Amino acid sequence: MDFLSLKPSTAFWGERNIIDRPPRIIEVEGAVFDPHPDSEIHAAIYRPDRHLVLESAHTRGPGTLLTPERVKPRKGTATKADALTYIYPGYVNKHYGHFLLSTFSRLWSQNLIDTGLPIIWHADMTIDLAFRLPWFRDIMGALRIDRKRFVAFPKPTKLGKVIIPCPAFIEQKVCFLEYAALGKRIGDALCGSVIRRSKPVYLSKAKVNGGVRTISNEVALETALTRRGFDIVHPEQMSMGQQIALWRSGVPIVSFTGSALHTALFSPGADVLHVDYDQFTNTSFWLINAANGTRADYVHFTDGSVPRIGENERWSCIHELKNPERTADVIAARVNARP
């Protein structure tokens, strides 16, 4: 059964930069809000000359993979906004993980939020739909942002002044320590009673309906890990407060790569065994863990023990464990061997 050997992951995909100063906050007079028609380019704020305000666009590293530089000046007329000054928090991503990394990361200045200024809504979902997402509603509540603060413009709109907080986290590129402080602050506000646990926890995606990666026989792994003394948790069935309390419970948390691991942001000093599908670790995970003092080990199974077997309309990558029982053995042994 040599194919089930578990190895440390030492190769990283992306950059690893941590910065100990607050991000910038910029102001633009006479800007135009005009969401780009290309759904892959999350850009919407243009200067009076109709050139993109680069600081407002969604980028990620290494380099700038979403290439906002190729956005050409926008043309056309714009209606005038009602208020004089707005806050632009970037594109509001409906995916939990990308929301934390690329939207939440612009909400680091509580002083700016507490000004009460209206906030521009830029998303592929309505404001009402977003507030039906429990995690979004919980986070907005902890930030003291009421649903009525958001303003949606149905067409290009000229703004008197727009205030743009630059992101405190850029995917696969950089993490400002301000982002870790934001995570702790919101985690403190949302966390329920922390119940000290004795068993390690495995975060399962077996009940998730769709996303990037899944394991077709993960239920078999759940069963095997339960027999080896693990608690099985499905994060999407928990409130944000319950998830944060779990992360703060002091036990090792084990998970294959996925957005649930980003919840470590709210729990400084958490303990995690991060299992990758291959030898490369996305640096977004490393950046969060390094900035907030997570005890994180990155490992991967070698020799094709978790092969990709296909995809479908719900999952971009479907994997399958060749031997769930042996996989559980190796994971349990790895957790028990940690000092």
Strand 308-310 vs strand 315-319: parallel, antiparallel, or unpaired? antiparallel
What is the mean predicted confidence (pLDDT) over 136-143? Answer: 98
Residue 136 phi, psi (nearest 5): -65, -45
The pTM score is: 0.92
- pLDDT band at residue 41 using 50, 70 and 90 as cut-offs: confident
- For 46-102, what is each residue's pLDDT tens digit? 998 888 898 998 888 766 545 555 566 667 777 888 778 999 999 999 999 999 999
Residue 337 C-alpha from the chain's centroid: 30
What is the mean predicted confidence (pLDDT) over 30-57? Answer: 85
Asked if residues 130 and 168 have their Cβ atoms less than 8 Å apart, the reply is: no
In this predicted structure, the answer to whether residue 128 has a pLDDT above a threshold of 90 is yes
Q: Return the pLDDT at 70.
A: 55
In this predicted structure, the answer to whether residue 3 has a pLDDT above a threshold of 50 is no
Q: Return the pLDDT at 73.
A: 60
- For 170-203, what is each residue's pLDDT tens digit? 999 999 999 999 999 999 999 977 778 889 999 9
In this predicted structure, the answer to whether residue 148 has a pLDDT above a threshold of 60 is yes
- pLDDT band at residue 287 using 50, 70 and 90 as cut-offs: very high
Q: Where are the beta strands (DSSP E) in 188-314?
A: 201-203, 211-215, 231-233, 253-256, 271-276, 280-282, 295-301, 308-310
Strand partners, 276: 300
Residue of higher predicted confidence among 63 and 271? 271
Q: Return the pLDDT at 61.
A: 77
Asked if residues 81 and 159 have their Cβ atoms less than 8 Å apart, the reply is: yes
Chain position carrying tokens 């409906």? 94
Asked if residues 256 and 212 have their Cβ atoms less than 8 Å apart, the reply is: no
Q: Return the pLDDT at 66.
A: 55
Q: Return the pLDDT at 237.
A: 93
Q: Return the pLDDT at 320.
A: 92
- For 151-173, what is each residue's pLDDT tens digit? 999 888 999 999 999 999 999 99
Secondary structure class of 259 (helix, strand, coil): helix
In this predicted structure, the answer to whether residue 146 has a pLDDT above a threshold of 80 is yes
Q: Return the pLDDT at 58.
A: 87
Percent of the chain with pLDDT over 90: 69
- Dist CA 317 CA 75 (whole Å): 39
Residue 329 C-alpha from the chain's centroid: 30
What is the mean predicted confidence (pLDDT) over 220-233? Answer: 97
In this predicted structure, the answer to whether residue 339 has a pLDDT above a threshold of 50 is yes
- For 229-249, what is each residue's pLDDT tens digit? 999 999 999 999 999 999 999
Residue of higher predicted confidence among 216 and 302? 216
- pLDDT band at residue 2 using 50, 70 and 90 as cut-offs: very low
Residue of higher predicted confidence among 148 and 10? 148
- Dist CA 267 CA 289 (whole Å): 10
Residue 314 phi, psi (nearest 5): -100, -30
The top-level CATH class assigned to 2-14+192-337 is alpha beta
Q: Sketch the domain layout of the chain as residue ranges.
A: 2-14+192-337, 23-167
What is the mean predicted confidence (pLDDT) over 125-144? Answer: 97
Percent of the chain with pLDDT over 70: 94
In this predicted structure, the answer to whether residue 125 has a pLDDT above a threshold of 90 is yes
Asked if residues 21 and 179 have their Cβ atoms less than 8 Å apart, the reply is: no
In this predicted structure, the answer to whether residue 1 has a pLDDT above a threshold of 50 is no
Asked if residues 331 and 273 have their Cβ atoms less than 8 Å apart, the reply is: yes
Mean predicted lDDT score pLDDT of the chain: 90
